[in-house]
Amino acid sequence: MVFILETEQPLRIGIQKSGRLTEKTIRLLEDIGLKFDDYKSSLMVKCRNLNIELLLIRDDDIPEYVQDGVCDLGFVGANVTAERNANVSVIKDLEFGYCRLSLASPKNGAIKTAEDFQGKRIATSYPNLTKNFFSGKGIDVRIVEISGAVEIAPTLNVADAICDLVSTGSTLKANGLVELEPIFYSQTQLIRTNQPISAEKQELIERLLLRINGRQLAEKSRYIMLNAPASAVEEIKNILPSAKSPTILPLADPEMVAIHSVVPINQFWDIMERLKQVGASDMVILPIQSLIQ
Ligand code: ATP
Ligand code: ZN
């Protein structure tokens, strides 16, 4: 009998080739330890240190590729996955690429609320999300599907209003439009195929998730080092977040200790001020690369 040893297929990840998500996605992948050769010149890039390959494609194609199992994972905006109604699993919100799909109409025009859209023409690249929003409210609209530069449609009299992605709102403003109502909030997500995958791939996905979680937690935390009178240690322990036991080190001066700890960024200034009040000094604050718990 002859056994043929199949080499394991690489875990294939679909990412946007060129656009708003590309740089942040690549940076995330590099931060969690994946090494690539030049990703700008090729559609398929092999990872040098893990059995992973990147497929660089238009973001619109990512949900279907993941749905069909062409890619095992994808980095894509929730807006695209929802619009395509793709059968995939969202396994992680990635906390970048924040935007909203919003209704907007010409400044000083007659359309001020969603109800005013009855019978109007609305230009959008998101016909399904827009249709669902209005049909949920029992409002009839005429969808004019446009693939880009949607905000110019009212000026060209192709539509009466639009439904488009907004982050700061400056593009709307520059085109004489006002934002009326968000219909969908989005951020970049990691999606996974629902097609069966090998145990090896599953294990690799779990490793990637652990690393992404570590990076996200690190971004929300700071490492602090400070000196304090030994007599203040108990008070300082009470101020520092309870889940983390601080490291306490002796100093040359027996009355003093050095304390190291990790603090969440949202409580950071409050903690620093309280530490100072109980005698902490020489506080050094450092960013953290990754935090695995
Ligand atoms: P592609 O050529 O890949 O189809 P695209 O032009 O459709 O690119 P981009 O403009 O690069 O897409 O946007 C990609 C994603 O970035 C959007 O689907 C959305 O999730 C997110 N995004 C964040 N802020 C904005 C914004 N202000 N406008 C548009 N998209 C935004
Ligand atoms: Zn696109």
Task: Tell me whether the CATH fold assigned to 99-186 matches the one assigned to 221-286.
Answer: no
Q: Tell me, in angstroms, the distance from the centre of ligand 2 to residue 174's CA.
A: 22
99-186 has which CATH code? Answer: 3.40.190.10
How many whole angstroms separate alpha carbon 87 and alpha carbon 78?
Answer: 13
Ligand 1 atom nearest to CA at 167: 27
Q: What is the pLDDT of residues 235-280, one digit of tens each?
A: 999 999 865 689 999 999 999 999 999 999 999 899 999 999 999 9
CATH for the stretch 221-286: 3.30.70.120
Backbone angles phi, psi at 49, to 5 degrees: -115, -5
The tens digit of pLDDT for each residue in 17-65 reads 999 999 999 999 999 999 998 777 789 999 999 999 999 999 999 999 9
What does the domain layout of the chain look like in residue ranges? 11-97+188-218, 99-186, 221-286
Q: Could you tell me if the CB of 99 is within 6 A of ligand 1?
A: yes
The answer to whether the beta carbons of residues 220 and 288 sit under 8 Å apart is no
Q: What is the reported pLDDT for 39?
A: 74
Under the banding of pLDDT at 50, 70 and 90, the label for residue 4 is very low
Using a cut of 0.85, tell me whether the model's pTM lies above it.
yes
How much distance in Å is there from the Cα of 182 to the middle of ligand 2? 20
The CATH architecture annotation of domain 11-97+188-218 reads 3-Layer(aba) Sandwich (3.40)
- Ligand 1, residue 188: give the atom nearest the CA: 20
- Expressed in angstroms and rounded, the spacing between residue 63 Cα and the centre of ligand 1 is 14
* Ligand 1 pocket, residue 59 CB under 6 Å: yes
Tokens 């395509």 label which residue?
A: 84
> Does 135 score more than 80 pLDDT?
yes
User: What's the length of the chain?
Assistant: 293
Asked if residue 149 has pLDDT above 80, the reply is: yes
The fraction of the chain above a pLDDT of 70, given in percent, is: 97
Retrieve residue 74's tokens: 């994808």
Average pLDDT for the chain: 94
